[in-house]
């Protein structure tokens, strides 16, 4: 049970309703996470705007979802792990690719480097060094793409924290966290 109210889109109005309607249009439903965040219209607009902006960025959707599952597993966020595993499959990732990403791994050198960097950002609270950034450049990422990788991590920290802190019920097919699967 969620620690905060899940806003019913049918019982709201104004800007909050407009954003929830956009979310419903994108998903065909209104995921519980957005209903929790909708307690603050500003937070809802920020989160949804970030998804839109990064979705139109240069990092491919598949890589964005692989980053999301790596970050979710690292933060023990069952909600985001489930949601982004499903979204990753929709973006063209295989089940094996999503399972590997959950562990921060990939057979693709560029994806593997992005996942290592993303997890270092989370684990070391953004304390990266020149070599960490250079490792991304060495596999072909430019500075714009590197900034976007960090932006994906930041957005996923926001969503992970919402779901974990507020115990938002998972409304996507469940995926086991690595430590639960072991």
Residue 182 scores a pLDDT above 70: no
Residues 65 and 50 occupy one common structural domain = no
Q: Which residues have a Cβ under 8 Å from the Cβ of 85 and sit 6 or more positions away?
A: 65, 69, 98, 102, 172, 173, 175
> Nearest Cα to 10, choosing from 35, 45, 27?
35
Residues 67 and 43 grouped into a single domain: no
Residues 93 and 111 in one domain: yes
As a whole number, mean pLDDT of residues 155-163 equals 98
What tens digit of pLDDT does each residue of 25-66 get? Answer: 999 999 999 999 999 999 999 999 999 999 999 999 999 999
The range of the structural domain enclosing residue 102 comes to 61-181
Chain-centroid distance of CA 11 in Å reads 27
Whether residues 98 and 134 share a domain: the answer is yes
Say if residue 145 is in the same domain as residue 169.
Answer: yes
Task: Tell me how far apart the alpha carbons of residues 163 and 93 are, in angstroms, rounded to a whole number.
Answer: 24
Same domain, 104 and 176: yes
Q: Is 41 in contact with 16 (CB distance < 8 Å)?
A: yes
Do residue 126 and residue 37 come from a single domain? no
What confidence score (pLDDT) does residue 179 get? 75
Note whether residue 161 is domain-resident.
yes
Q: What is the CATH number of the domain that holds 166?
A: 1.20.1290.10
Q: What is the pTM of this model?
A: 0.96
* End-to-end CA separation in angstroms for the chain: 26
Torsion of CA 6, 76, 46, 110, to 10 degrees: -140
Q: In this structure, is residue 3 part of a structural domain?
A: no
Q: State whether 119 and 95 are in the same domain.
A: yes
Q: Mean pLDDT for the chain?
A: 97
Q: How many domains in the chain?
A: 2
Digit-coded pLDDT (tens) for 51-110: 999 999 999 999 999 999 999 999 999 999 999 999 999 999 999 999 999 999 999 999
Same domain, 68 and 119: yes
Do 45 and 67 fall into the same domain?
no
In a domain, 5, yes or no: no
Q: Is 142 a member of any domain?
A: yes
Predicted local distance difference test score (pLDDT) of residue 14: 97
Say whether both 71 and 44 belong to one domain.
no
| Average pLDDT rounded to a whole number, residues 153-163 | 98
Domain membership of residue 106 (yes or no) is: yes
């Amino acid at each position: 049970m969620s620690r905060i109210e899940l806003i019913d889109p049918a019982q709201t109005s104004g800007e909050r309703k407009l954003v929830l309607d956009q979310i419903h249009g994108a998903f065909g439903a209104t995921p519980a996470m957005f209903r929790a965040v909708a307690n603050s219209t500003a937070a809802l607009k920020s989160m949804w705007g970030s998804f839109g902006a990064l979705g139109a960025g240069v990092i491919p959707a598949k890589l964005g979802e692989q980053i999301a599952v790596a970050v979710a597993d690292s933060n023990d966020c069952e909600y985001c792990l489930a949601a982004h595993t499903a979204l990753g499959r929709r973006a063209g990732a295989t089940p094996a690719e999503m399972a590997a990403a959950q562990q921060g791994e990939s057979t693709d050198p560029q994806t593997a480097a992005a996942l290592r960097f993303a997890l270092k950002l989370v684990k070391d609270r953004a304390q990266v060094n020149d070599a960490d950034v250079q490792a991304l450049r060495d596999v072909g990422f430019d500075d714009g793409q590197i900034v976007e990788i960090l932006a994906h991590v930041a957005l996923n920290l926001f969503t992970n924290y919402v779901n974990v802190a507020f115990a938002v019920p998972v409304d996507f097919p469940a995926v086991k966290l690595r430590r639960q699967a072991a």
